[in-house]
């Protein structure tokens, strides 16, 4: 191969020397292309490199934000609000202030997702500080049934008459607990609807503010 190249070169030179038209017409374009080619090659290479880098950065940012977004979705949101509840059975108010109804574990879900299923469930709705009529909601999507499930109080929902903030409600157990909701649950036979015994908002606020066991 090398030998063939060497054999060809002198001929081209010879032709160049003896034929000015050849030199004028054919060599300059060759030189031009030789001069420009490396530069455009470098420029093109740089441009391609920069484009690839930008695409890589965009992809990285997109993937990273998707990763953060999914992480956020999976992390239980920090919520904390309160509501009031009373249960009357045959005109007698049920007392939920007993120690057995209280949640004594430290509140607020672990932000590092190390919570057990039980903790996540317990945080949804629970009682503190021997206060038997103010619910602490510290987990997402807490329903009224979560409260009774967590305090282990068996309630026949089909036989309950319920008022939330003074309005009669059907299937209250499946209603989401809203901040400062005040629920009155009647079971058995009651002569009154006991709406006058509903927990008032200022009472909920007062008990929540005083709470010792409850995180902020
Ligand atoms: Zn709590
Ligand atoms: Zn609380």
| Ligand minimally distant from the alpha carbon of residue 81 | 2
Distance CA 104, CA 81 (A): 17
pLDDT in tens, the chain (216 residues): 444 445 555 554 545 455 455 555 555 555 555 555 667 777 888 888 889 999 999 999 999 988 888 877 776 567 999 999 999 999 999 999 999 999 987 665 565 567 788 989 999 999 999 999 999 999 999 999 999 999 999 999 999 999 999 999 999 999 999 999 999 999 999 999 999 999 999 999 999 998 877 664
Q: For the whole model, what pTM was predicted?
A: 0.65
Span from the CA of 72 to the centroid of ligand 2 (angstroms): 23
Chain CA centroid to CA 170, Å: 31
Q: What angle do CA 125, 129, 131 make, to 5 degrees?
A: 70
Ligand nearest to the CA of 135: 2
Range list of H helices, 75-136: 117-124
Give CA angle at 203 (105, 201), nearest 5°: 105
């Amino acid at each position: 191969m090398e030998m063939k190249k060497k054999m060809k070169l002198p001929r081209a030179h010879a032709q160049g020397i003896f034929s000015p038209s050849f030199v004028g017409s054919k060599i300059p374009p060759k030189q031009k292309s030789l001069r420009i080619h490396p530069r455009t090659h470098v420029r093109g290479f740089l441009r391609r490199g920069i484009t690839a880098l930008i695409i890589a950065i965009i992809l990285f940012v997109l993937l990273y934000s998707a990763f953060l977004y999914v992480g956020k979705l999976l992390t239980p949101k920090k919520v904390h609000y309160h509501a009031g509840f009373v249960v009357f059975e045959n005109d007698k108010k049920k007392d939920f202030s007993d120690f057995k109804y209280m949640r004594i574990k430290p509140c607020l879900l672990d932000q590092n997702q190390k919570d057990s299923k039980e903790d996540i469930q317990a945080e949804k709705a629970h009682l503190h500080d021997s206060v038997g009529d103010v619910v602490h909601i510290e987990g997402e999507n807490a329903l009224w049934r979560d409260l009774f499930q967590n305090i282990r109080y068996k309630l026949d929902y089909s036989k309950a008459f319920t008022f939330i903030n003074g309005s009669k409600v059907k299937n209250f157990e499946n209603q989401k607990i809203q901040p400062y909701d005040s629920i009155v649950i009647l079971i058995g036979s009651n002569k009154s609807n006991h709406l006058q015994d509903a927990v008032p908002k200022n009472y909920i606020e007062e008990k929540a503010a005083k709470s010792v066991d409850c995180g902020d």
